[in-house]
Structure 1
Amino acid sequence: MAPRVPYTWRLPDFPGDGSDLKWIDPSLLVICQNADVDAAIQPLLQTLKQPFAPRLVASVFCHETMREVFKKRVVASMELLHRHAGNHSQYKKACRMIECLNAEVICVLYSDYIGFHWQRADGSPVIVCEFDQSFFGGQRPTSVVTLHTFRNVQELPQLVARERIPFVSAAVWCPKMSAAYETAFKLGLDVVYINCHSIPLVPIMEFFLAQQAHVILANHHHYEVVRHEDKCRLIVFPAVVLWCPAEPPQPEPAKRKSDQGKGAKIAES
């Protein structure tokens, strides 16, 4: 018989799932040139609201031509942190380190009464520019998201190596599929979403686990297991259905004999 656990009304410490103690399936966001920024930042905004959770966005790689657009869109959509996250010791530690480094940040700002001096609002989400997670305690979630600017895809492997985070997937937003595939292969991650994120991988997972190249169209998405550098990668992107089979022509109803007789009499008259 299992031992009885004494009843307690006390809730577990925030967040309660251990996601502040270790990285749980962190992801990477890559914004390429001419990408759809509004769609790309949706999972990032969820992370900025609640930075201690599984499957959060730990880092963002942004093409240099998209940096200002990205910054404006994120700031316009930012909300303050969950109140427990804003009081978490790791968030406070990260904020102290940011001040020590004098790092550039993207955050919610408020001004004094004459609008002369601006400073970070209490409990604001923070994106730190050009510093990696190791500066803020990268062995566990730091409550901040790091942003790196790149000029070409050749720089991506080095940026991934700098972060030293166990990324399980990446979301690449790029309007040109050839460039998106090149970016996906440069990241060196097992799972890459192109112009989408967090799509269920059930339709293709059997082939991926078997390390067998395969292509499936399911749930309006293209799933592909492709071999690259002696290793299989899983790539997913939306596949819009623009064609459907036409309905077969319906046979005309046969005329009744009585109707045919009436037609003959009319013709004789």
Structure 2
Amino acid sequence: MKLMADGGDESLRFKNASCTLYLAAASISPENSDKSWIDPSIIVICEEANLDEAMIPLFSTLYEPLGKNLIASVFVHETMREKFIEKVRAGISTVHRQVKTHEHYARALRLLDCLKSELICLQKPDDIGFIYKMVDGSSLMSCEFNQSFFSLEHPSCVVTMHTFRNAIELGQLAQTERLSFVSAALWCPKIAAAYEAALQLPMTTVYINCCDVPLAPIREFYDYKQPFVVMTDHYHYEVIKSMDRYQMIVFPAQVLWSPESLNESITEKDIQVRKSQKSKR
């Protein structure tokens, strides 16, 4: 079956076929945030990434996939794919009760049924534990299909997942997701590898091993397209230029050294040395 996605909220056209970790929210976000995507972002899972930290914002979106600042897509390195899926399955739940009855959720179920994509969801076994079926109202994550197949106009109630092998392929896959992402949260234990991946992403803001950190220390420098680096409030902030493009990169920075005060720098040993010098005179 050949599938083709048009760019909007219209139905997919098919040829030859018809077709708990983070449950703090109490209600669907207001201000018509189910009518359009508002500041969506992505998560990137690199080799040996800290999955426990990365899953927190993801589970928030899976539980309440209508609202602002949603995680629309996740990009996972091939070596982390199985571990990542296990983590999702272990922590996934049903969606918020208002999402369960929303028309966008019903539409997502119809599209997933037509696409027959690999689906990560909450499942339950039959009486003999032989066949597993999706629990009614389960959160939804679709593998290897982008948001164009679900909706570019409004939150789709589906988080898409892609698998990449290297930084170049990561950038290419990120380009296939046609939403206007406000940022990327990239989880990687090696800063050099993280920068290599970050520079391939089309987003202007990339958080490394953190997310949603205020950008005030470098916002003005980015606006004026001026490369800049500063470390403040235990974070490294940088405006970096790559080719003709500027990005803001932020990551946690632990201070391992700080200058001693003048009094503290004079140790007891120094005092004894000075006394011995005076006695010789």
| Smaller-chain TM-score bracket | 0.7 to 0.9
Which residue number corresponds to residue 81 of structure 1?
A: 95
Secondary structure in 2 aligned to 1:62?
Answer: strand
Which residue number corresponds to residue 31 of structure 2?
A: 17
Aligned equivalents of 1:251 and 1:158: distance in 2?
58
Letter paired with 1:234: M
Secondary structure in 1 aligned to 2:173?
Answer: helix
Out of 183, 189, 193, the position equivalent to 1:175 is 189
Letter paired with 1:169: S
Out of 234, 244, 248, the position equivalent to 2:258 is 244
Residues 251/145 of structure 1: CA separation in 2 closer, same or farther (3 Å cut):
closer
Letter paired with 1:142: S
**CA shift digits 1:99-122 (9 cap, x unpaired):** 111111111111122212111111
Secondary structure in 2 aligned to 1:233?
Answer: strand
- Provide the alpha-carbon RMSD of the alignment: 1.7
Q: Retained in 1: the 8 A contact 2:120–2:140? A: yes
Normalising by structure 1, what TM-score?
0.85
Tell me which stretches of 4 or more aligned residues in structure 1 moved more than 4 Å: none
Q: How does 1:120-269 map to 2 (within 5 A)?
A: 120-247=134-261, 248-249=263-264
Which residue number corresponds to residue 61 of structure 1?
A: 75
Q: What fraction of aligned residue pairs are identical, expressed as a percent?
A: 48
Out of 118, 121, 125, the position equivalent to 2:132 is 118
Normalising by structure 2, what TM-score?
0.81
Alpha-carbon offset, residue 153 of structure 1: 1.3
Equivalences, count: 240
Alpha-carbon offset, residue 42 of structure 1: 1.1
Where in structure 2 are there 5+ consecutive unaligned residues? 1-26, 269-281
Which residue number corresponds to residue 52 of structure 1?
A: 66
Secondary structure in 1 aligned to 2:181?
Answer: coil
Letter paired with 1:17: E
Considering only CA atoms, is the larger Rg found in Structure 1 or Structure 2?
1
Aligned equivalents of 2:225 and 2:122: distance in 1?
45
Which residue number corresponds to residue 29 of structure 1?
A: 43
